A and B are shown apart, each in its own frame.
Chain A
Amino acid sequence: MNAAWSQIVVNALLTGSISLLVALSLHLIRACNGFFDLTVASVFAVAPYGVFVCLHLASGSYPIQSGIGIAACVTGVLVALSCGFLLNWFLFAPFRRKAVSGGVLLVIGWAAYMFLENFLGVLFGQDSLSIRWFSEPQPIKILGAYLTPLNVATIIIAAVLALGAVGMLRGGLSLKVRCVADNPELALLRGIHVERVRATSAMCAAMLAGTAGILQGLDTQLSPRMGFEPVLNGIAALLIGQEWGAVGVILAALGLAQLQQFVGWTWGNDWQSVCTFILVVMFLLWRGSGRAISATSGGKL
């Protein structure tokens, strides 16, 4: 394999790591609550802004020590968790009690995303901000491809979280999630605390999305709109891979990232999204996803 191909594969692994965390986050909510939650895009952006605020508060002790930086990142994840919990508790739970459809929840999530994105814009402005408190060390060469230590850390963290999420969905939570998604009233009768399961899945999803946001924020710049594109990629991966459960979603995210990198290298970065969405539309038309596959029809987790 020549150096260019190695770099494409490694770049795809890197972008795919962010994408698969977002896709798993969307999958977790879809599997449990039965809708495509677009507020994942706002949680993705809120977490790195939480890190930014923490670093800003600690900026009196410049240069910032690694310990403070890592503590800020942990705080950012906690901010994401809280955001996920609050959105579920105060926004989606009241609508679910009215027994609204997944379509209405999708519209509500869309509106909440719009609100939060613009709220971040009002608070922090539209200019790009940085949360990278450390100076970037020299890239290292692995199998002919160049990677920075941050890139390596991103891939490892994403792999660990993805394994954790798959383990959780295959483990004890799986049955509860399936019961709640299938028939909340029967789940309640069976002694499952429905709202607790939903809140747990929303918080786990927020943690995955928030971590992805922080990892991307460390590598690039922050902007209020930074969550939109990863979530579109995540939705694309979810639509393609959901039939085969969490593992299918992960593979679809990595496959799409590979396709995007290849398209970017061949035709230019401007065509990456076009190719992804064309593939998704073709896949949906071929498989008829969405009608055949539903979280409430006992699909794989």
Chain B
Amino acid sequence: MEVRQRMITTIIKRDGREVPFELEKIANAIYKALQVTGNREYKAAEELAGQVQTVLEERFTDKAPTVEQIQDIVEETLSNAGYSRTAKEYILYRAERTRIREMNTRLMKVYEDLTFQSADENDIKRENANIDGDTAMGTMLKYGSEGAKQFYEMFVLKPEHAKAHREGDIHIHDMDFLTLTTTCCQIDIEKLFDGGFCTGHGFLREPNSIASYSALACIAIQSNQNDQHGGQSIPNFDFGMAKGVAKSYRKNYLANLGKALELLADLPDGLGTAKAIADQVRAEEGLDPILANDNGYQEAEALRLRERIDPALIERVQRFAVDKAHKETDRDTYQAMEALVHNLNTMHSRAGAQIPFSSLNYGTDTSPEGRMVIKNLLLATEAGLGNGETPIFPIHIFKVKEGVSYNPEDPNYDLFKLACRVSAKRLFPNFAFLDAPFNLQYYKPGDVRTEVAYMGCRTRVIANRYDPTREIVTGRGNLSFTSINLPRIAIKANGNIDNFFEDLDRKFDLVIDQLLERYKIQAEKRVRNFPFLMGQGVWIDSDRLGPDDKIGEILKHGTLTVGFIGLAETLKALTGKHHGESKEAQNLGLDIIGYLRRRCDEAGKKYGMNITLIGTPAEGLSGRFVGIDRKRFGVIPGVTDREYYTNSFHVPVYYPISAFEKLRIEAPYHALTNGGHISYVELDGDLVQNVDAFETIIRFMKEIGIGYGSINHPVDRDPVCGYTGIIGETCPRCGRRDGEPVSVEKLRQLGVYINYNSDSIGYTGDIHEEADRIPNPLDLSEAATATPTTTCETEEASL
């Protein structure tokens, strides 16, 4: 029998190209595999390669072999020659090469989709609702983000962490920033402004009016946002801005006193005299004109005025100054807050042309200045943006505290009621409850740094295992967080609770290992890598370091956080019911989350770091895990049959349950998730019309130990007639349907037609009217024992 042979001269590569056959390449590949098994003889590899060539020439007589076909024959040859271990290594080597190649292809495919698909078509472009995926900068951010993730997965992450993330056992959040920075920070605005600060070019002096205070607050948020990938919050906003109000008041007082002196007392250069007297009183008696007007300043001023004007005029002159100064400062503060809200909604300074994620915590400053800030911030938010739109940022967190803002006799109770009224219209503020036992334990009256603050997303940083003498919120934040796919563990456990906890244990250990690895990378960074966050002393203790110092130690004030998603689906998989519908499931849920919290505490103790547990604020993640699980395990009713896993420990959004029952079920989880938590209720009906019901729910949250809560209700707006409220099919004000026109005459009749030119009309809110609003008077008897009289129909949301 004639064995036909042909010289192999070319091969076909994976991309289809035909290239010259090089025996050396096969020898090299075999040699690599041999080395792994301890054989360092290149000659052996050459010989085997020769055998491969022989087989190729026998089998491929009429066309060139492909790379795949060659590799098959290499494996076969190795096995036949008795090199079975080497064959195995070769197979692994192939698999690894394939995986890397596929990753490159996958990355290129992602880039292709980013480039050519619109955001509507491409889910990745909508991973983060804050980014406009259709813009150049939004897309560029995505290119960078996807490329970075790929790189880290291949070359930086420990293989077992990369594998766990890739396969959806865990999710490493913000992996695109793995080697670059930390998550977020609670900015101490009082400390930052004291003496002025720098943003990289030029020094900003300590501001001198409420307008500058508010502008600088925006700049601080923006600057810090450039150094971190997460949100920026100010935990002491009212206290910080109060100084600005005081400065503005003094200016306004002296300006008006000056006018009064000229007009009423015929004194030339009234302002000069007013200032001279004020400086003298400050120098000699340490007093200034203040809003409260109860410090003796006016008495001291009156004494000095006697020397200059008719004493009979003093009372009128001073009364005029106080009256006008009060009104003008109130107006100045309103405008400063209005500008702040506008700024925080429009400055595109975060990567990808995003607006910084800003959060403001306030509510406990009871000084007249602080109260003026809170009141006007709320009113400006209520008024909305230029056309009355609901501002998206900042996220407002109103701090509720017995003795300060919660009870009718409390000094800031009126502001709490105003907060409810504004939230009923604008969805913010959210409410933080300082009396929840796990928050109260840190509270020291009079020290705002000990008042719990929440990031808008729900992150909470207050305890401090690393430095128990500084259990404060200012200058601290989260370093990174990683979430566990709880439902998957439950699915795999097949109803066996012991197996579930064993597997959970292993996953937990993996996550701790990964968080610590990431921390090690972060710890190697230096102050100069964070020009504002560290360079300007925003992060706690960074002002004690020089530009080239490493930041590992001071970072330990931050938190490493373990997260989870889908407790409801987990319980459904384990017991057949979720915790909204079954007490047993709820008990198991508390066991599971309690167990995770205990392990976090142990790990924190072991490593001397702040390791906390959070109910993950999942956005992209909510779909990612369930997608992978459905592919792997199929459709499991109540578990993988939806396109998302329920957020953290929440009762599923689709489950009909009363607001109060939902809160009762979720409240105990707040105590366990020390890294952050939130509970929402979803309401129908126009809450603007029923602020009392709104307040009742908030009060209930406080009473059952919720840490951070919020009320969701539809906030719709018709840009044509300006109506804000519930809009179903047609606008309740002008009657038009979505996308359809309405007659100009109709708008005229409604009184919302404003014709600025012949080509456009529209509604603009009356800012002056809204600025003059005062909080509603209190009816104490009603507030004390309020029970809700409104029942809202339970219905599915329809869009």
Do A and B come from the same complex? no
By a beta-carbon cutoff of 8 Å, the part of chain B in contact with chain A is: none
